[in-house]
Amino acid sequence: MSEKIEKVYYERGTNELREKSMRAQKLVKAFNDCDPEEGQEKERLIRELFGSVGEGSSIEHNFHCDLGYNIHVGRNFYAGYNCTILDMAEVRIGDDCMIAPNVGIYTAGHNIGPKDRNKSGYGIPITIGNNVWIGGHCAILPGISIGDNSILAAGSIVTKDVPANTIVAGNPAKVLKHITEE
């Protein structure tokens, strides 16, 4: 489904990364501190934080991300409570997607060798198609592509690409069913 995707490498502790992270942390804190009735302010903050945001998007309290500007969401995007998106590489989410509470979308990874594990890392982009439903407590790992109209059952750990029109579940997530019009 996905082509060979290049890793985006980064050095931990650099001034550039620290500045980018601080920008995101300030916007995330302001977003999470908003009164629930401050819908326009929450939308403004997300539009400033993310790379792009479609109309009708909504994110619940306690959202977290690394940089923010690598996140692109389509129309009618919804993320439930405690959503975490580690966006050291791009995360592209299509239109009409729903994310249940406590979901993690992780582009970031680290070296396996202990010597340099804490010094640097990498990110591999994640792409989520249109009309995807991600159940609570799912984890989506680096480099994953999720096809249109798919469902990730609650608690799934997604380690491989998900074809369009399928339901996946488990750890690691496996195809349970193909979705048809019926």
Which amino acid is residue 170, in one-letter code?
G
70: left (phi over 0), alpha (psi -120 to 50) or beta: alpha
The reply to whether 178 belongs to the active site is no
Q: How far apart are CA 137 and CA 120, in angstroms?
A: 27
Strand partners for 79: 59, 99
User: If you count them, how many residues does the chain have?
Assistant: 182
What share of the chain has pLDDT > 90, as a percent? 85
Q: Sketch out the chain's domains with CATH numbers.
A: 8-178 (2.160.10.10)
Q: How far apart are CA 111 and CA 81, in angstroms?
A: 30
Does the predicted model carry a pTM greater than 0.85? yes
Q: How far apart are CA 105 and CA 158, in angstroms?
A: 10
Retrieve residue 151's tokens: 């469902």
Measure the CA angle with vertex 133, ends 129 and 135; round to 5°. 135
User: What pLDDT is attached to residue 2?
Assistant: 45
Better pLDDT: 126 or 6:
126
Retrieve residue 83's tokens: 């959503």
Active site residue: 72, 110, 137, 178, which one?
A: 110
Question: CB of 150 within 8 A of CB of 130?
Answer: no
Mean pLDDT of 125-129: 98
pLDDT per position as a tens digit, 1-18: 445 568 999 888 899 999
